[in-house]
Structure 1
């Protein structure tokens, strides 16, 4: 297997697009905590009212399978369907905690923002050091996230200046972009960079993200295996899987 650097050279890569959560920032863990807090309380309350038991959210399985890397309301809908629950969609203006897809999604977002304020945002130092090196070599950079908190997270972490373009959950909603595994968000970032997908490398930590990169015809799709999930990343079609970025 060729090294990451060799792959970039062989495929004449001109730009890099990074997923935010789990690749650049350690916010995937924070998102998972917020989802678990929201869903576990909701399932317990609903179960007590119905006289039945609902399995709480398992971060290792449920989060990866139903929620990770996709728009927030899609995550609410997917997970609830896995428990045999369907709720009205509601609207983005629904009060946090209201018993709709939007209301529960808004509550999760409130919990996430609370955690970020309490704990701050940690970055993956290996990613940042490698990214800076590539920028010095002249490669272009963009960042994407299904989260609507992308800009706040970038500024909290002090890394917004490292990316020329960003496409996040807010913009995806405004533009009508489909969530991963559809390639829409990556293709929009490529369009903004003005570089063809086949000349761009994608960096993703989730199977759906890897699938999106392959579906978009990107020149190199790299799986970042932070959680010992190499098999899933390879099954999604990753050209290369690494545990961390090579030291500059």
Structure 2
């Protein structure tokens, strides 16, 4: 099938950022007395940072300011950006379709973090539309981020293909009625914690 639009998740899909994200998560969470295992971190892929801090705070009975903690975590993450690289198999798809098929980035990341990653990796010019966590009320597994990307591309959802690496994102793409390619079938991020 020939797709009329291609939508890419960012973290763990376009760019291999997940190990750096987890390092930043662990550092920030521990600073607040919170625990986030690496397995749980991957299960929550696609959930905005502020929302995860709210969940951890509630579950573990530790009162924090989720928005302030999210900013701390993202600042810790961007300090590690020199360590991350694009995922080669996904970049092949991006380069093959550049200028032929409209493409968008649709992420649960904050806009400033998304822009920082794309600029550091020199990837922005490949895409015409960008949807970040601030652009929709509901986040993955709801389909809103992908539906908004399709709307901005001017392509009907069923004619879009989504590249994703997280279960919640895959569910969101399917809920949007799009064809979904699971990046985990050909890329496994490096784990930080032994035996995790």
TM-score, reference length from structure 1: 0.70
Structure 1 distance, partners of 2:83, 2:120, is: 7
Higher relative contact order (CA 8 A, sep 6+): 2
Question: Alignment partner for residue 188 of structure 1, among 128, 145, 148?
Answer: 148
Structure 2 distance, partners of 1:165, 1:121, is: 23
Cα deviations by residue, 1:3-29 (Å, 9 ceiling, x for unpaired): xxxxxx2xx421110000001111122
The match for 1:139 is 101
The match for 2:127 is 163
Structure 1 distance, partners of 2:98, 2:71, is: 36
The match for 2:160 is 200
- Kindly indicate whether residue 130 of structure 2 is the aligned counterpart of residue 152 of structure 1: no
Structure 1 distance, partners of 2:14, 2:59, is: 29
Pick closer, same or farther for the CA change 1:224–1:82 going to 2, 3 Å.
Answer: farther
- Kindly indicate whether residue 87 of structure 2 is the aligned counterpart of residue 124 of structure 1: yes
The match for 1:232 is none
2:133–2:139 Cα contact (<8 Å) kept: no
1:17–1:186 Cα contact (<8 Å) kept: yes
2:45–2:169 Cα contact (<8 Å) kept: no
Question: Alignment partner for residue 81 of structure 1, among 50, 53, 58?
Answer: 58
Question: Alignment partner for residue 224 of structure 1, among 180, 183, 186?
Answer: 183
Structure 2 residue runs without a partner (length 5+) = 188-196
* Equivalenced residues, count: 185
1:69–1:145 Cα contact (<8 Å) kept: yes
The match for 2:12 is 22
Output the aligned Cα RMSD. Answer: 1.7
Residue 123 of structure 1: SS of its match in structure 2? coil
Structure 1 distance, partners of 2:15, 2:158, is: 26
Q: CA deviation at 1:169?
A: 2.4
Which protein has the larger Cα radius of gyration, Structure 1 or Structure 2?
A: 1
TM-score, reference length from structure 2: 0.87
Cα deviations by residue, 1:113-171 (Å, 9 ceiling, x for unpaired): 2222xx254111221122211236x222111111121011101001111111111124x
2:53–2:69 Cα contact (<8 Å) kept: yes
Cα deviations by residue, 1:61-80 (Å, 9 ceiling, x for unpaired): 22023x32111111111233
Structure 1 residue runs without a partner (length 5+) = 1-8, 44-53, 88-98, 226-241
